[in-house]
Structure 1
Amino acid sequence: MPDPIQKITPYLWVEKDAKAVADYYLSIFKDGKLKDYRKFENPPNEFNPEPSSFETAVIEIAGMEFSILAAGPLFKFNEAVSFVINTKDQAETDYYWNALTANGGEEGSCGWCKDKYGLSWQVVPTEYFELIHSDDPKVREKAMKNTLTQKKLILSELK
Structure 2
Amino acid sequence: MATITQKITPFLWFDRQAEEAAKFYTSVFKNSMVGRITRASKAGFEDHGLPEGTVMTIEFKIEGQRFIALNGGPVFKFNPSISFLVACNTKEEVDGLWEKLSQGGSALMELGEYPFSEKYGWAQDRYGLSWQVMYIGIHEMKQKITPTLMFVGEQCGKAEAAINFYTSVFNNAEVGDIFHYGKGEEPDKEGSIKHADFTLENQGFAAMDSARKHDFNFNEAISLMVECVNQEEIDYYWEKLTTDGGQESVCGWLKDKFGVSWQVAPAILLEMLRDRDKEKVERVTNAFLKMKKFDIGELKKAYGGNK
Fold shared by both chains (TM-score > 0.5): yes
1:59 aligns with 2:198: yes
Who is 1:25 aligned against?
166
Separation in 2, partners of 1:58, 1:145: 40
**2:181–2:188: 8 Å Cα contact kept in structure 1?**
no
Q: Percent identity?
A: 34
Residue among 90, 93, 96 paired with 2:237: 96
Query: Which stretch shows the higher mean deviation, 104-113 or 34-43?
Result: 34-43
Q: Which digits, 9 at most, give the CA deviation of each residue in 1:76-133, with x for residues without a partner?
A: 2011111111111111011111111111111111111111111111111111122212
Find runs of 4+ consecutive structure 1 residues off by over 4 angstroms.
none
Structure 1 gaps of 5+ residues are none
Q: Which residue of 2 aligns with 1:13?
A: 150
Q: Indicate which of 250, 253, 260 corresponds to 1:109.
A: 250
Counterparts in 2 of 1:23 and 1:51: CA distance versus 1, 3 Å: closer
Opposite residue 137 of structure 1, the aligned amino acid is K
- Partners of 1:92 and 1:3 lie apart in 2 by 33
Q: What's the CA shift for 1:137?
A: 2.6
**1:62 Cα offset (Å):** 1.5
Q: Deviations over 1:30-85 (max 9, x none)?
A: 320111112121526xxx6x784341321111121111102237342011111111
Q: What's 1:151 paired with? A: 292
Are the structure 2 counterparts of residues 51 and 101 from structure 1 closer, same or farther at C-alpha, using a change threshold of 3 Å?
closer
Structure 1 residue 76 and structure 2 residue 217: aligned?
yes
The alpha carbon displacement at 1:135 in A equals 3.0
What is the count of residue pairs matched by the alignment? 155
* C-alpha contact (below 8 Å) 2:188/2:210 kept by paired residues: no
Distance 2:162 2:269 in 1: 30
Which structure exhibits the higher relative contact order, with contacts defined as CA atoms closer than 8 Å and separated by 6 or more residues? Answer: 1
Structure 2 unaligned regions, length at least 5: 1-138, 301-307
* Cα RMSD after superposing both structures: 2.2
Alpha-carbon displacement from aligned partner over 1:2-49 (angstroms, at most 9, x marks no partner): 7524211111011114321110001111320111112121526xxx6x
1:118 counterpart SS class: coil
Higher strand proportion, which one? Answer: 2
Q: TM-score, length-normalised on structure 2?
A: 0.47
Return the alpha-carbon distance in structure 2 between the equivalents of residues 69 and 124 of structure 1.
27
SS of structure 1 residue aligned to 2:264: strand
